Chain A
Amino acid sequence: MAGPLDGVRVADFTWAGVGGYCGLLWAMLGADVIKIETKVRGGTQRLSNPARRVGVKSNLAEELSRDKRSILLNLKSPVGVDIARRIAGKSHIAAENFRPGVMARLGLGYQDLRRANERIVMVSMSANGQSGPDATLPGYAGIFGALSGISSLIGYPGGAPVELRLPSDMVAGTMGALAGVAALVRQQRTGQGQYVDCANRESLSVLIGEYFLSLGSAFGESGRQGNDVPGRAPYGCYRCADDEAMAGRPAAERERWVAVGVVDDSQWVGLRAALDLPDDADLRDSAGRWARRRELGTEIARIVRPRTVEQVVETLRAHGVPCAPVMRPPDLLADPHLAERQAWDVLERADGVPWISFGAPFRFQHAGRPTPRAASPLGSDSRQVMADLLEIDDEEFDKLVADGAIA
């Protein structure tokens, strides 16, 4: 099965988290995503991840280059740039997330690609967007997360804000993917291409729009509130018994937590019964529970502390209370629900070592899910892609390699 974007081709010049995830989503929707890599930039995603402990091999490439084809071009060579333009000429979408101006300097700006393909949709993603005084500033998740406003709302009351990491790259990448498909739908309807400018910080700001809107009212900015949602209580994470299977490991690896969120009065009745909490009249409505939320939180923490998270979740779910373990990666892998939904893929890597990966975050009943494939080694699809798209035969390909246009 192929996916709803079957037949769509993407000339993918992106790198790192935002662009990598954007292209991955298109690939998981069935598009033929051709990752155009260079020895310098391509390598950046495939080497150690700066956010990780230094020296540890990154798996960003395994995860973000899966389902894509990889070609290696020398974009410092005019012939290499010409090949890149010709690939864009055969694509519906081109995407990039360099600093503004880099693609134009390479001869691969929107106007250049448009000459090769009038209908092309070009998606640029950058920390601050393509316009404005700060357009060319560099950005990483923690940086554009701080600028978006969202980080200022994450953290313990009175404490520091929280630096955002890769998942916020992925939010920006999802927004980029949406922008591209929106323009694609328009291209299909009108035959017209267009240029799309995505600002990663703005992709995060829209997730907290209500905190902008409330600014002018006396209620103001509410700042960092831990896990509180005003009006909802109890609502938080509570520590359970340590994981016995992790005995001997560092404390942080042993601890288990349960998330409990009471959203309505009937759930409070369930929670009260499940944990034998007091049946005070003032606790029967949300305002009363909110007023006593700290006291309730302390009491719940005391009750669940000696119990295993599995026991707590089973009991609370039986009473209709929204709750879940705070899941660690091994918990997710062992989760029967995800297993039954066949959420995981096992990819056959080029080196023969199987790689466990996670499938697409959406399922299409009729269009289907594309068959997963492991990340191509850097440049390993060059010959095939050149033949498929540009009718470059082996002899010509070898000459391009000898001339330094490829690789």
Chain B
Amino acid sequence: MARAGQSVLNGIRVIELGGVAAVPFCGLMLSWLGAEVIKFEPAGGDDDARRLAPFVRVGDGGVESAMFAYLNSGKKMVSFDETTDAGRTALADLVASATVVVHDGSLEFCGQSLGPTVGDTYPGLVACAITPYGWDGPHAGVPACDLTTNAVGGDCYLNPAGLAHHENPEGEPLKMAGFSASYTGGLAACLAIMASLFRQGLTGLGDFIDVSEQDVQVSMSREQIMWAVNENVLETRDTRALPVGGCFECKDGYVQVYVFSDEHWAALRVIMGDPVWARDERYAAALDRAKHNDEVNAGIESWLRLKERDELYTAAKKHGVTLAPYLGPADVIADPQEVDRGFPAPFVVGDLTLGITPGFPFAMSETTPVRPTGGWRRGQDTAAVLSGVGVGPADIEALVAGEVSE
């Protein structure tokens, strides 16, 4: 089994140049895999996520962005004025010391040195740009945010389907939870970076990777999109719902029920107590249930309304029914399954446990993920990191002169 200290990316240095969600999430995944991630915040302003909700208490009555803390704890925080000659040189030195750079293209330095021609300056470097629309094309550089990434991804138009849409048919199309669409762009970029590291291991060569957050979203919605464009069937929020099953309200919350096969239906009938209505011959076959789905769903709903979420889940597990409760984050960290797997992880900074975060989403038998610890104060590691790449103490002092100390 796993041996302490053995991580996948032990000894790999990553420079992170970009804020808010996609680039930091990519950096988080790389740091979980054991990379040394150095987050650079430019003179022009720190990462916007430092001000974004939700928030977490950090002791002494202080309150900070839980989003920033979650994404960035465990990284080395470096900041200096990169717009001066000395700053440009220091940033170039930092990049030269790295194996991977992940950026959002926003700094002038990224455009000049970390784009498609990166190999001219840094032949072994893996440079990955994560941008809303990709590195080139007519929309490159168009103003964007997490919501527009959702909008141009193909799924937002169909979201929500099922009960939420039924309750509010005139409601606006919805984005995914929090910044998760942007995080997904960072996840896809992390996969691409790892693949590039594999190639680098064989050939010694670096690469420039162009990840468009729009492409990532469209790629994930490829089934519904290709269905529409090849077979001219336009699905809408009205027609997307599962024919039978879906999200239902129960006595104290919501449950998801999945009924497609005859086995699913038979098992559901058992935990419903095989009511008379469910024995109707017209519901015996999947196609017929779909034809009469309003009746079947109404029958399921009237039964669920009287039941509690946890009691339903217990019965479902016992009888093999594909039914699960809608859990909130507080439920997830208390769920016996996740507790047993050790997935909820204490979030420790120094001597303080600030809360619980999700752990690493996969378990590897021979390598251990690296749990983030450490604070995220702007510039806290600037001097140590810069001296590590050979910048002298006087030069460091000059570089950080404009930095506001907290």
Contacts and interface: CB of A to CB of B under 8 A. Distances in A.
A217 B63 contact: yes
Given A133-B340, A219-B53, A231-B51, 15 more contacts: A4-B195, A4-B196, A62-B226, A146-B256, A147-B335, A154-B159, A160-B247, A209-B71, A232-B145, A237-B151, A329-B227, A337-B133, A343-B218, A361-B188, A365-B116
A358 interface: yes
Interface string A188-225: 11001111111100110111111111111111011100
Contacts of B340: 131-133
Interface string A28-66: 011000000000000000000111111110111011100
Interface string A231-272: 110011111000000000110110001111101100100000
A209 B324 contact: no
A365 B363 contact: no
Interface string A161-180: 11101110011001111110
A275 interface: no
B151 A325 contact: yes
A322 to B, nearest CB: 4
A145 B324 CA distance: 9
A221 B328 contact: yes
A53 B243 contact: yes
Contact of A317 (B142, B214, B221): B142
B187 interface: yes
A160 B254 contact: yes
Nearest to B205: A366
Given A160-B247, A167-B155, A237-B173, A317 B143 contact: yes
B375 interface: no
Contact of B343 (A7, A196, A202, A221): A202
Contacts of A54: 243, 286-287, 290
Interface stretch (B78-86, B364-372, B380-388): B364-372
B174 interface: yes
The 6 nearest A-B residue pairs measured at CB: A329-B228, A259-B151, A153-B177, A170-B220, A214-B54, A252-B236
A206 B361 contact: yes
B223 to A, nearest CB: 5
Nearest to A21: B220
Contact residues of B: prevailing secondary structure:
mixed
Interface string B278-300: 00000000110010000000000
B219 A361 contact: yes
Contacts of A17: 223
A333 B227 CA distance: 12
Interface string A299-342: 00000000000000000010011111111111011001110110
A115 interface: no
B70 interface: yes
A159 interface: yes
A198 B338 CA distance: 13
A323 B143 CA distance: 7
Contacts of B154: 327-329, 332
A356 B236 contact: no
B404 interface: no
B167 A160 contact: yes
B23 interface: no
Contacts, number: 530
Interface string B148-190: 1011111111111111100110011111111110011001111
B396 interface: no
A179 B362 contact: yes
A358 B137 contact: no
B358 A337 contact: no
Interface string B185-214: 001111110111111011001111111101
B240 interface: yes
Classify chain B: how many residues form its interface, as a range: 35 or more
B66 A214 contact: yes
18 contacts: A52-B227, A62-B230, A132-B338, A133-B337, A160-B163, A161-B164, A163-B247, A167-B217, A175-B362, A210-B71, A211-B178, A231-B53, A237-B174, A322-B148, A356-B229, A357-B226, A358-B218, A364-B209
Given A183-B364, A317-B143, A207 B191 contact: no
A182 B207 contact: no
A363 interface: yes
B303 interface: no
B139 interface: yes
A212 B358 contact: yes
A239 B325 CA distance: 33
A366 B358 contact: no
A226 B174 contact: yes
Given A146-B256, A182-B33, A340-B138, A213 B196 contact: no
A329 B167 contact: no
Contact of A210 (B54, B176, B196, B242): B54
Contacts of A217: 54-57, 63, 66, 355
Contacts of B51: 231
Contact of B197 (A156, A185, A211): A185
A185 B35 CA distance: 13
B307 to A, nearest CB: 16
With most chain A CB atoms within 10 A of its CB, the pick from B8, B144, B219, B336 is B219
Contact of B222 (A7, A213, A358): A358
Contacts of B67: 210
B207 A162 contact: no
Contact of A167 (B221, B247, B366): B221
Contact of A327 (B71, B151, B355): B151
A109 interface: no
